[in-house]
Amino acid sequence: VKGYASDAYFFNAGCGIQLHGGVGFTSEYDIQLYFKRAKSTETFLGGSDFHRARLAALLLDDSPLGQQKQERA
């Protein structure tokens, strides 16, 4: 879900910038805030690729947590 939400957030912010054209990046319109927040959220919390890889690792038990479980057994 986090991967999909990250993609959707960044895609919609980018579409908003395209819709507003050149004024989309000016401080007079709030759409630039959404784009900046989407980019900073992707950088700070990880992008969709990170979340999908993390989910795959957890499902396949390739994560460090899964390896710790195997070592204890």
| Contact status, residue 42 vs residue 6, Cβ threshold 8 Å | yes
7: containing domain = 2-72
Give the mean pLDDT of 24-35: 83
Domain count, the chain: 1
Q: pLDDT tens across 32-43, in order?
A: 888 888 888 888
pLDDT at 65: 59
Output the CA–CA distances (angstroms, integers) from residue 63 to 4, 30, 72, in the order listed: 21, 40, 15
Mean pLDDT value across the chain: 81
